[in-house]
Amino acid sequence: MKTDELAKSQHIQYIKALDDKKDDYEYWLTEHLRLNGVYWGLTALCMLNAKNTFDKDKIIDFVRSCYDSSTGGFAAFPDHDAHLVTTLSGIQILATYDALNTLSEPEKLKTTEFIKSNQLADGSFQGDRFGEVDARFSYTALSSLSILGALTREVVDPAVEFIKKCYNFDGGFGLCPGAESHASMAFTCIGALAIVNRLGDLSSAQIDQIGWWLCERQVAEGGLNGRPSKLPDVCYSWWVLSALALIRKLEWIDFNGLRSFILKCQDIEKGGISDRPGNEVDVFHTIFGLAGLSLMGFDDLVSIDPAYCMPFSVTEKFKKYPY
Amino acid sequence: MHGVKRRQWTKELLRQKRSNDAMKISNYRALTEEGLTLKRQGVINWDAFDKTTEILNLNPEFNAIWNYRRDLIKALENNLPDKFWGKELSFTLETLKRFPKVYWIWNHRFWSLKRCPGAEGSKWRQELKMVDKILSLDARNFHGWHYRRTVVERIEIAEQTSLNQQELAFATGKINENISNFSAWHQRANLLPKMFANGQIENERQFLKQELDYIITAMFTDAEDQSVWFYINWFIQESCITSRWTKQEYQNALEQLAESAVAINEDEREFSGKDNSWCLKILVIIETIKKQKLGCVENEQRSELLQRLIAVDPVRRERYIYLLNE
């Protein structure tokens, strides 16, 4: 295996074996990310054209077991608590398997209500009843509602107003108004605007500034960082590239440099991708490294929708807002 | 995993890890099983509370256990032991020292402070000292800066006052310690429009002159670092600044910056034989402003600069080509 090739079969093996690591302490310490992990793994497999690697029925049963019937949201694991982030993961997995109908209509309605009930007066969303506000939750809420076909003007208009206030002078977005720009927020804010068909709210001067800030995330090693003067990290291959793709400025970064950085982060023997060369791999960096490569059209990967971080073959079935 | 070195697991190393992990796993699983069972059964007592402490000490990312802990505190609130809140705050502080980037700990600390009794002003002032400490350990801690703004807002509400002056001084201090601290430059660009709008800048003309000198010094300090350049880009286009200049002053400020950029670039060319891309980028912006806002006649310089940028910063060439075709 050469270091300038994508180790596809190893990555498939790595993802397949994720649930066989029960002898590792880390497996148990990450239970609070299990549902997200399943979404990351499944989406990575989809890009590798290996969706059938996971046992569909088993996964759907697991997702169902994370449904919290008292709130209507999904938790990361049975007996954990529902949260907007894990709710999106649950919905994404079901949608990827074309299995949203395993939720009954009343259950779906309850999920919709759960998401909407976490919207605050200023249009922002809290992650759960304890009140943490973050643009990440605006994204997860709008994406979830979109997949469920349940967006409404009452939800979208104030949500968009809040997201627009997260825009900063440098062309980046912060986690709330006034917060420093962070590349992950470029994805959540621009992705959310794209999902509700409101990218047109950004002026062309803003779009140019956003493109500039995002392309300046690329450092000499070819990788992308999340903020000025920070080290590159594979996950920004997704946060930065998806946003650039949505504003149609993907080519403002150097594809070959980024590809070679991502490939250097592979464990070519055991599979998986890490944050930086020589570090321990994990499924989070594996999906976002692959997703970056997919957006750039490399390595024959299945194409991914930059707004939803799901294969186009899945998202093309979603009802597009405004309905 | 962020920042964890990949290891080559020989059979022997793996055997050792597995046997170490086996103990930890059985302990952790038993503990979390107990905790989650108590939570499911809705048990409200101090033993359950202690159980959450035990679990969170091992895994501060376990959000469902933080939630249970908060529900326990709320339910037991009428019978809290002496110094409960002090202990709760030390618990989050100790945990934050070990895991300064875990959202859930920051959230719980904020929740605790909102809930604990005491005079609002002094409570949050005390907290600001804690944030000072965290930001002195890592001056770019994203959570720390976000939390700082939240705490400042609390003080301002409680005391009906504005801390903008103090916060500008804080940001300046952080920039002076390290010119590449973009978190501090960001803070500066956030504060100034508010301060101008509220009349908190005493001598505006004097201030603008000083600020211009300040950023020129910063340019010379580290011309490779993008933090300063993004701030300069803001400074020369932000209306709270430019509206306070006469056309002549605006033009002079741009000339001064352009001269400095050219000088830095000349040094760089002498030293390495190459252009400094940031100097060129700011010169392009200055040319654009001169044409668009000051009605100067377009000259060849902008396209020439962009051509040089394509050569010196090829990874972003498509952007420069886009700007050339504008």
- Residues facing residue A311 across a β-bridge: A304
DSSP string of B227-268? Answer: HHHHHHHHHTT-HHHHTTS-HHHHHHHHHHHHHHHHHHHHHH
* Whole-number pLDDT of residue A2: 64
Judged against a pLDDT cut of 70, whether residue B72 lies above it is answered with: yes
Q: Which domains does chain B have, with CATH numbers?
A: 203-326 (1.25.40.120)
DSSP A245: H
* Whole-number pLDDT of residue B99: 94
Confidence tier at B296 by pLDDT (50, 70, 90): confident
Q: Does B85 touch chain A (CB under 8 A)?
A: no
Paired tokens of A193: 């605007």
Determine if residue A200 is left, alpha or beta; phi over 0 gives left, psi from -120 to 50 gives alpha, anything else beta: alpha
Which positions in chain B touch A218 (Cβ < 8 Å)?
315-316
Q: In terms of residue numbers, what domain contains A46?
A: 8-315
CA distances A219 to A5, A148, A184, B259, Å, are 22, 39, 17, 27
Q: Does B83 touch chain A (CB under 8 A)?
A: no
Residue at A150 is within a domain: yes
Q: Give the separation between CA B190 and CA B164, rounded to whole angstroms.
A: 10
Confidence tier at B6 by pLDDT (50, 70, 90): very high
- Residues facing residue A310 across a β-bridge: A305
Please name the residues in contact with B108: beta carbons below 8 A apart, sequence gap of 6 or more. Answer: B66, B69, B70, B92
Number of domains in chain A: 1
Q: Does A176 touch chain B (CB under 8 A)?
A: yes
Name the B residues in 271-310 with CB < 8 Å from any A CB: none
Per-residue pLDDT reduced to its tens digit, A267-294: 999 999 999 999 999 999 999 999 999 9
Tokens 């006649």 map to which residue?
B297
Per-residue pLDDT reduced to its tens digit, B7-39: 888 999 999 999 999 999 999 999 999 999 999
Residue at A177 is within a domain: yes
Residue at A119 is within a domain: yes
Strand segments (E) across A215-321: 273-274, 281-282, 304-305, 310-311
Per-residue pLDDT reduced to its tens digit, B148-162: 999 999 999 999 999
Q: Give the separation between CA B77 and CA B95, rounded to whole angstroms.
A: 23
Q: How far is B257 from chain A (nearest CA, A)?
A: 19
Q: How big is chain A by its Cα radius of gyration, in Å?
A: 19
Judged against a pLDDT cut of 80, whether residue B299 lies above it is answered with: no
* Whole-number pLDDT of residue B293: 85
Query: Of A170, A233, A249, which has the smallest distance from its Cβ to B230's Cβ?
Result: A170
Please name the residues in contact with A287: beta carbons below 8 A apart, sequence gap of 6 or more. Answer: A40, A41, A43, A44, A47, A238
Q: Does B63 touch chain A (CB under 8 A)?
A: yes
Please name the residues in contact with B193: beta carbons below 8 A apart, sequence gap of 6 or more. Answer: B238, B240
Please choose, from the candidates A182, A283, A295, A186, the residue with its C-alpha nearest in 3D space to the C-alpha of residue A245. Answer: A295
- Residues facing residue A273 across a β-bridge: A266, A282
Paired tokens of A276: 């930086």
Task: Average the pLDDT over A69-74 and give the result.
Answer: 97
Q: Give the separation between CA B301 and CA B319, rounded to whole angstroms.
A: 17
Tokens 């979109």 map to which residue?
A146
Confidence tier at B224 by pLDDT (50, 70, 90): confident
* Whole-number pLDDT of residue A152: 98
CATH, residue A59? 1.50.10.20
Do A7 and A1 form a contact (C-beta atoms < 8 A)?
yes
Confidence tier at A1 by pLDDT (50, 70, 90): low
Paired tokens of B160: 């009906």
CB contact under 8 A, A216 and B107: no
Query: Of A25, A252, A280, which has the smallest distance from its Cβ to B316's Cβ?
Result: A252
Q: How far is B141 from chain A (nearest CA, A)?
A: 11
Per-residue pLDDT reduced to its tens digit, B112-121: 999 999 999 9
Q: What is the pTM of this model?
A: 0.97
Task: Average the pLDDT over A298-323 and give the result.
Answer: 98
* H or E element that contains B171: helix B164-177
Residue at A303 is within a domain: yes
Residue at A2 is within a domain: no
Q: Give the separation between CA B79 and CA A147, rounded to whole angstroms.
A: 46
∠ CA(B177), CA(B175), CA(B136), 5° rounding? 55
Per-residue pLDDT reduced to its tens digit, A181-198: 999 999 999 999 999 999
* Whole-number pLDDT of residue B297: 78
Residue at A121 is within a domain: yes
* CA pseudo-torsion sign A193, A199, A205, A207: positive
Name the A residues in 179-198 with CB < 8 Å from any B CB: 179-182
Q: Give the separation between CA B282 and CA A311, rounded to whole angstroms.
A: 40
Q: Give the separation between CA A101 and CA A63, rounded to whole angstroms.
A: 13
Query: Of B21, B29, B190, which has the smallest distance from its Cβ to A178's Cβ?
Result: B190
* Whole-number pLDDT of residue B298: 72
Residue at A184 is within a domain: yes
Do A288 and A279 form a contact (C-beta atoms < 8 A)?
no
Please choose, from the candidates B55, B66, B65, the residue with its C-alpha nearest in 3D space to the C-alpha of residue B105. Answer: B66
Other C-beta atoms closer than 10 Å to the C-beta of B22 total 12
